[in-house]
Amino acid sequence: MSELDSRIPNNVALSQDPRLQRALLRWQPAFLNWWSEMGPEGFQGDDVFLRTAISVEPSGWSHFDYVRMPDYRWGIFLAPPEQDRRIGFGDLAGQPVWREVPGEFRTDLRRLIVTQGDTEPASVEQQRQLGKTAPSLYDLRNLFQVNVEEGRHLWAMVYLLHSHFGRDGREEADALLERHSGDADRPRILQAFNEPCDDWLNFYLFTMFTDRDGKYQLLALAESAFDPLSRTTRFMLTEEAFHMSVGETGVGRIVERTAEVMAAGEDDPREAGVFDLPLIQRHINFWFSASLDLFGGEVSSNAAHYFANGLKGRARESRRQDHAALDGVYLMELPEDGALRERDVPLRNAMNEILRDDYVRDCERGLARWNRILEAAGLGERLTLPNRRFHRQIGAYSGHRFDPEGRLIDEGVWQRKSGEWLPTADDREYVRHLMVPVYEPGKMATWIAPPRSGVDGKPIGYEYVKRP
């Protein structure tokens, strides 16, 4: 392995491409400076038990060792190529996939890559203070694993920009480090990535719902006729699964601890220092609705254009029957003249909604697992997903008010009832009150149950992060 390949593990023959080497080695110091300023604050000198991807094979992808985060080896990996791969959908179905960017789709593909790339550093910025209130060393380690992998996903998108988009790509790669989550002047592109995520309940729900949106965006991009983008996102999906698992199991452990207290007869879980179910439900409502916005408008000419030209498909397109989507329609209930009215939308214009359908079904499976915890504790309460029309800021339902069941309501009802549906100032204060760090190996904060097992076969009480 060359010195360059050791610094930047890759399977893209980086050592044989002097132009790309120069571009990435120029960008790397800016990335490390961004990581120092905007990455996890207060833990850059700690040894963390992290998984580092050094190849796409399972033995290389699952390499665990202690490493300080600034020394983490952010690499560039593409899934292995498929021999004679063909475009699988749209007007160009059956033609060979593209190894280079077609001129007529250059702007569209750059926009898709930049939008995806912008989400990766944004989530690191949103989570930079969380280590200071970690409920255990196990959770602290998982936070940092998510953070460094989001950094690697940024490298993946920057590689595509540098290797396929020339000067424009280099400028876009620089801009990915210049926007910042929540910045008043240069915010991140998508609003969910400007929302505060400064406590662990929000973090778990963010990784449950917002990272799950990332899964479906990556699945759609994995179908792309631009083969380097497809191969890049297919490898990213292997890491994204871990991020969603952190969120789903984290909320599950919160629900388990709350259920224990309630089953023991405590009428007010807050008296026992745990989260009450209505508070959890309000936070579910917020992050689920914010994540739904990330799919875009229900009726979208851009989505139709991307599909027609092979730029972005449906998740798991090969499992579908009709890859042209020319003749079908999608029945939607859309606001019109103060009421919801059914409309037939051409299938290609409904591609965002089709992807959102897959996402909602996936989220429902997660809610079912949390509710089984409540059922096992003998409790009658259940957590639910709000209707997809609730609290939307993007698309056909934005500008209208809906209750969590999806019923159209007026502004007066919203003002009276929204405090029952979304996190309140009292909720936020209570959550902050519980955020006390626990750094002793094997110990857990009072508001969360321990995990079922540790990392890489290690016990739960392992010293996953070596604090000074």
- State residue 62's pLDDT score: 72
Helix (H) or strand (E) holding 63: strand 63-68
Residue 99 is given by DSSP the state S
- Superfamily the domain 3-466 falls into: Ribonucleotide Reductase, subunit A (1.10.620.20)
Question: Following DSSP, what letter does each residue of 238-272 receive, concatenated?
Answer: HHHHHHHHHHHHHHHHHHHHHHHHHHTT-S-GGGG
Partners of residue 345 on adjacent β-strands = 330
Q: Name the token pair of 88.
A: 């699988």
* Sequence-separated (6 or more) residues with CB below 8 Å from residue 166: none
Phi, then psi, of 280 in degrees rounded to 5: -60, -45
Tens-of-pLDDT digits for all 468 residues of the chain? 566 677 888 889 998 999 999 999 999 999 999 999 999 999 999 999 999 887 666 666 678 999 999 999 998 999 999 999 999 999 999 999 999 999 999 999 999 999 999 999 999 999 999 999 999 999 999 999 999 999 999 999 999 999 999 999 999 999 999 999 999 999 999 999 999 999 999 999 999 999 999 999 999 999 999 999 999 999 999 889 999 999 999 999 999 999 999 999 988 999 999 999 999 999 999 999 999 999 999 999 999 999 999 999 999 999 999 999 999 999 999 999 999 999 999 999 999 999 999 999 999 999 999 999 999 999 999 999 999 999 999 999 999 999 999 999 999 999 999 999 999 999 999 999 999 999 999 999 999 999 999 999 999 999 999 988
Residue 340 is given by DSSP the state E
Helix (H) or strand (E) holding 336: strand 329-336
- State residue 54's pLDDT score: 73
Q: Name the token pair of 120.
A: 């990766």
- State residue 6's pLDDT score: 74
- State residue 8's pLDDT score: 87
- State residue 390's pLDDT score: 98
Pure H helices in 293-392: 301-308, 351-376
**Do 212 and 359 contact (CB within 8 A), yes or no?**
yes
**Could you give the angle at the alpha carbon of 359 between the alpha carbons of 176 and 335, nearest 5°?**
95
State CA 314 to chain mean position distance: 18
Burial of 305 (0-12, 13-18, 19+ CB in 10 A): middle
- State residue 244's pLDDT score: 97
* Sequence-separated (6 or more) residues with CB below 8 Å from residue 352: 295, 296, 297, 298, 300, 303, 395
Question: Following DSSP, what letter does each residue of 8-54 receive, concatenated?
Answer: S-BSS-GGG-HHHHHHHHHHHHHHHHHHHHHS-TT-TTSEEEEEE--
* Sequence-separated (6 or more) residues with CB below 8 Å from residue 20: 14, 159, 162, 163
3-class DSSP assignment, residue 465: strand
Among candidates 284, 287, 432, 454, which has minimal Cα distance to 370?
Answer: 284
- State residue 84's pLDDT score: 96
Other beta carbons less than 10 A from residue 342's beta carbon: 9
Q: Name the token pair of 220.
A: 């759609």
Among candidates 70, 193, 61, 204, which has minimal Cα distance to 133?
Answer: 204
**Which residue is listed with tokens 């203070």?**
129
